[in-house]
Amino acid sequence: MSENLDTILQIAGSTLRLATPLLFAALGGLISERAGVVNIALEGLMLVGAFVAAAVAYATHSPVAGAGAAMLAGGLFASFYALFVVKLRADQIVAGTAINMLAAGVTPFLCKIFFQSTSSSAALPMDSRFVSAPLYGAWIFVIAVAFGLGFTPWGAWVRFAGEHPEALDSAGVRVNRVRWMAVILSGFLAGLGGATLSIFLSSSFSRNMTSGRGFMALAALIFGKWRPWPTAFACLLFGLADAFQIRLQGVVLWGSDPVPVQFIQILPYFVTILVLAGVMGGSRAPKALGQPFLKH
Amino acid sequence: MKKLFLNGVGWVSLFAWVCGGALAQEYKVGLILDKGGKDDKSFNSAAFRGATQAKSDLKIFLKYVEATDDNAFETLTRSFAQKDFDLIIGIGVSQAEAIKKVSAQFPSKKFVIVDAEVKAPNVRALLFEEHEGSFLVGAIAAMMSQSGTLGFIGGMDIPLIRRFEMGYVAGAKKINPKVKVISNYVGISGDAWNNPAKGKELAVSQYGAGADIIFAPAGASNLGVFDAAEEKKKFAIGVDSNQNWIKPGYILTSMLKRVDHAVFAAIEDGVKGKFTSGTQRFGLANQGIDYAVDQYNEKLLTPKVRADAEKIKAEIVAGKIKVPDFYLKK
């Protein structure tokens, strides 16, 4: 019996760990999207965060400094994104894709400069990495974002910037300033999400180490109907699917042969499609999502 | 003034001609690395090491590229072939199709492919008997294991990695018929070779399920496996390059695949005009496959284990032990 309990605890641990980077990125994406800016650049912002966190933690031997720097770097990259989509009103999908490609290219380049290697940074010793802080930290951010969006004037501005930017404008609040702020905040969070990958879940940056997690985060926030708690729940669900996937590999379910690994491995993606395709019912995006705001 | 100018042009073109002549003498090698890139500390690093050694020892001109996705291989191979490169080396099984196609279009150029068989008059295929080395490290793992449970983490479920797994399991069972081996694969896309966070999660799960030694042919994802070994105070086994140094004390040994030697030899043959096509096989017998003992792990492996490992190695070489090969399985 205690063996079963062990298994359950292990799966729970895996779920929480696998969900952590998704949580940060999804919360970031949520703030940006609630303000009306699509953020498919999450993947790239995470990648930048992952690299900067590894580099700074390596130089300072402090994971906290690494995470802080990753936050700033994510914010900086996001402000670059905001420049194009908020100020210059570029197409958000195209600009977001460009940010992702830029991040995929610039990180190995910087890695080469600092670590003489295009594929990974130097390994971090245990004392330069987080042991468990991000595990709790992520949930503190969930609470903070839920509170901030729901109960503060700032949250109301963000929501109006995404639903009725004109109304917000008539009330004398500058819509684009709110959007700038929201996008930069989303960069902070996505940068932190990337940092959890390189200085918490592993011990170095490696090329393209986000492996699509930015897009999973995006799916989670859509599944969560752009609301903080359901989004956090969706991240947990994806984490759980991934943890189960690890456990189910090589397990014989029927007959004598185990289920083919490839079939098991599509589980998280399968869950994504399933939940997005309707199990969850209709979900409504912020009304002004994806539309640049131009003051008349 | 005009005369001086013409004179200048004359000198410059003479200079260019001399240099061009000198450059044309140089043997030009194009190296196409797989997606892991030249610093993967593993398979591609080994190939790159062999080629850079050839550059310094044999004074060749070396240009290398790192492919970012599978679709790039053919373009990269063709662009080398169209220029004046003499020898083009493709690293990794996913380049087989590109080498096959381009080598047929450029019969005067020489090609080398690692890990795949391409039969053409101008292609040399370098194949490694991974199952032999995997058998050996599997046996070492079974000798060292206290729990009787071992782990295997592959990058992707492809025949090459299955070959590692089959050899590893057979080697472990040779020592301890009751040994249990837990197998996991990291992913289904190219990211699988570059996902240390997932590698670590798989390793934590295997250590949690009782495994105390994990063999991880998973590209850069095995860096996560090493992290897990360090955190859980368990062991891992490296692959392709000697990875013992990455986490000293936690990496029991590394299964070596001497891609560096094979690539160097191919370039040397090319330079000396002795390039031959056909398939070359590297195994325990010709040291193309081996296991690593160095200052980082010599204290981990007891003399008894090492002596037994040498004995098994000799028996495989002598053909007394038949190692099952996934490639020959129906």
Contact B205 A14 (CB under 8 A): yes
B78 band by pLDDT with thresholds 50, 70 and 90 = very high
B223 closest CB neighbour out of A197, A206, A262: A206
B230-256 pLDDT, tens per residue?
999 999 999 999 999 999 999 999 999
B10 band by pLDDT with thresholds 50, 70 and 90 = low
d(CA A229, CA A139): 10
Give residues with Cβ within 8 angstroms of B271, minimum separation 6: B27, B54, B58, B60
Does pLDDT of A292 surpass 70? yes
| Chain B interface disruption, residue of A116, A203, A266, most B CBs within 10 A | A203
User: In this structure, what DSSP letter does residue A259 have?
Assistant: P
Q: Residues B148, B216: one domain? A: yes
- B206 with B224: CB under 8 angstroms? no
Distance set, CA B8 to CA A10, A146, A185, A260, B1 (Å) = 77, 75, 61, 71, 10
- Specify the long-range contacts of residues B46-50, CB closer than 8 Å, at least 24 apart: B46/B240, B46/B241, B46/B257, B46/B258, B46/B259, B46/B260, B47/B89, B47/B91, B47/B114, B47/B259, B47/B260, B47/B263, B49/B241, B49/B260, B50/B259, B50/B260, B50/B261, B50/B262, B50/B263, B50/B264, B50/B267
Shortest Cα–Cα distance, B46 to chain A (Å):
14
Q: Which domain holds residue B318?
A: 130-256+300-328
Number of H helices, E strands in chain B: 10, 12
Q: Residues B204, B214: one domain? A: yes
d(CA A34, CA A155): 9
Shortest Cα–Cα distance, B36 to chain A (Å):
7
Q: Give which of A40, A36, A42, A24 is closest to A179, Cα–Cα.
A: A36
Contact B184 A21 (CB under 8 A): no
Does pLDDT of B6 surpass 70? no
Does pLDDT of A290 surpass 90? no
B135 band by pLDDT with thresholds 50, 70 and 90 = very high
| Chain A interface disruption, residue of B39, B49, B193, most A CBs within 10 A | B39
A10 closest CB neighbour out of B40, B200, B205: B205
d(CA B202, CA B150): 13
B143-184 pLDDT, tens per residue?
999 999 999 999 998 899 999 999 999 999 999 999 999 999
Task: Look at the alpha carbons of A179, A183, A189, A193 in this order and tell me if their dihedral is positive or negative.
Answer: positive
* pLDDT average, residue stretch A35-39: 95
Count of C-beta atoms within a 10 Å radius of residue A6: 13
Domain A20-279 fold is ABC transporter involved in vitamin B12 uptake, BtuC (1.10.3470)
CATH number of domain containing B40: 3.40.50.2300
CA dihedral of residues A109, A112, A118, A124 (deg, nearest 10): -120
Residue B171 confidence (pLDDT): 97
Residue B175 confidence (pLDDT): 96
Express as a percent the part of chain A with pLDDT over 90. 65
d(CA A80, CA A100): 12
Burial code (b: 16+ CB inside 10 Å, e: under 16) for B137-153 equals bbbbbbbbbeeebbbbb
Give residues with Cβ within 8 angstroms of A58, minimum separation 6: A66, A121, A122, A124, A128
3-state secondary structure of A165: helix
Q: Residues B186, B245: one domain? A: yes
Q: Is A163 exposed, middle or buried (0-12, 13-18, 19+ CB in 10 A)?
A: middle
Which range has the top average pLDDT, A251-265, B65-79, B181-195, B226-240? B226-240
Shortest Cα–Cα distance, B190 to chain A (Å):
9
Mean pLDDT lowest among A247-251, B80-84, B214-218: A247-251
Contact A250 B182 (CB under 8 A): yes
Express as a percent the part of chain B with pLDDT over 90. 78
Does pLDDT of B101 surpass 80? yes
Does pLDDT of B23 surpass 60? no
Q: Residues B78, B191: one domain? A: no
d(CA B45, CA B37): 8
Q: Residues B218, B237: one domain? A: yes
User: Touching check for A197 and chain B: CB below 8 Å?
Assistant: yes
Residue B40 confidence (pLDDT): 81
Q: Residues B186, B238: one domain? A: yes
pTM: 0.84
User: Touching check for A209 and chain B: CB below 8 Å?
Assistant: yes
Give residues with Cβ within 8 angstroms of A92, minimum separation 6: A37, A38, A39, A40, A85, A290, A292
d(CA B21, CA A114): 38
A245 band by pLDDT with thresholds 50, 70 and 90 = confident
Mean pLDDT lowest among A271-285, B140-154, B262-276: A271-285
Residue with tokens 């100018």: B5
Residue B89 lies in a domain: yes
User: Touching check for B231 and chain A: CB below 8 Å?
Assistant: yes
Q: Residues B240, B136: one domain? A: yes
Q: Residues B252, B270: one domain? A: no
Cα–Cα–Cα angle for B305, B308, B312, rounded to 5 degrees: 135
Query: Which chain A residue lies closest to B207 (C-alpha atoms)?
Result: A10
Mean pLDDT lowest among A284-288, B26-30, B161-165, B209-213: A284-288
Starting at the earlier edge strand, list the strands of the sheet with B61-66.
B61-66, B28-33, B87-91, B110-114, B123-128, B278-282
User: Touching check for B36 and chain A: CB below 8 Å?
Assistant: yes
Beta bridge partner(s), residue B291: B255
Residue B26 confidence (pLDDT): 87
Q: Residues B232, B316: one domain? A: yes
| Chain A interface disruption, residue of B152, B194, B230, most A CBs within 10 A | B194
Query: Which chain B residue lies closest to A20 (C-alpha atoms)?
Result: B197
Q: Is A249 exposed, middle or buried (0-12, 13-18, 19+ CB in 10 A)?
A: buried
Query: Which chain A residue lies closest to B191 (C-alpha atoms)?
Result: A211
Classify B237 in phi/psi space as left (phi over 0), alpha (psi -120 to 50) or beta: beta
B21 band by pLDDT with thresholds 50, 70 and 90 = very low
Q: Give which of A153, A180, A156 is closest to A293, Cα–Cα.
A: A180
Structure tokens at B206: 């295997």
Cα–Cα–Cα angle for A82, A87, A90, rounded to 5 degrees: 75
> Rounded to 5 degrees, what are φ and ψ at A221?
-75, -25
A206 closest CB neighbour out of B182, B187, B194: B194
| Chain B interface disruption, residue of A211, A242, A244, most B CBs within 10 A | A211
Q: Residues B159, B176: one domain? A: yes
Residue A207 confidence (pLDDT): 85
| Chain A interface disruption, residue of B201, B244, B251, most A CBs within 10 A | B201
Residue B314 lies in a domain: yes
d(CA A41, CA A30): 12
Q: Between A180 and A212, whose confidence is greater?
A: A180
- B234 with B207: CB under 8 angstroms? yes
Burial code (b: 16+ CB inside 10 Å, e: under 16) for B123-133 equals bbbbbbbbbbb
Residue B6 lies in a domain: no
Does pLDDT of B41 surpass 50? yes
Residue B97 confidence (pLDDT): 94
Shortest Cα–Cα distance, A177 to chain B (Å):
37
Domain count, chain B: 2
Q: Give which of A275, A265, A266, A163 is closest to A219, Cα–Cα.
A: A275
Residue B192 lies in a domain: yes
User: Touching check for A203 and chain B: CB below 8 Å?
Assistant: yes
Count of C-beta atoms within a 10 Å radius of residue A122: 16
Does pLDDT of B75 surpass 50? yes
Residue A197 confidence (pLDDT): 93
**CB proximity under 8 Å: B 156-175 to A:** 157
Structure tokens at B287: 């040291």
User: Touching check for B49 and chain A: CB below 8 Å?
Assistant: no
Average pLDDT, chain B: 90
A160-210 pLDDT, tens per residue?
999 999 999 999 999 999 999 999 999 999 999 999 999 999 889 988 889
d(CA A145, CA A123): 33
Residue B10 lies in a domain: no
Residue B58 confidence (pLDDT): 93
A58-94 pLDDT, tens per residue?
999 999 999 999 999 999 999 999 999 999 999 999 9
- What is the interface size between A and B, counted as CB pairs within 8 Å? 97
> Rounded to 5 degrees, what are φ and ψ at B200?
-65, -40
Does pLDDT of B20 surpass 50? no
Helix axes A213-223, A175-196, angle to 10 degrees: 120
User: Touching check for B97 and chain A: CB below 8 Å?
Assistant: no
Number of Cα atoms under 13 Å in the Cβ half of residue A18: 32
A36 band by pLDDT with thresholds 50, 70 and 90 = very high
Q: Residues B47, B134: one domain? A: no
Shortest Cα–Cα distance, B318 to chain A (Å):
34
First to last CA, chain B: 80
Q: Residues B161, B177: one domain? A: yes
Residue B11 confidence (pLDDT): 54
Mean pLDDT lowest among A154-158, B12-16, B173-177: B12-16
Chain centroid offset of residue A123 CA: 23
Residue A168 confidence (pLDDT): 93
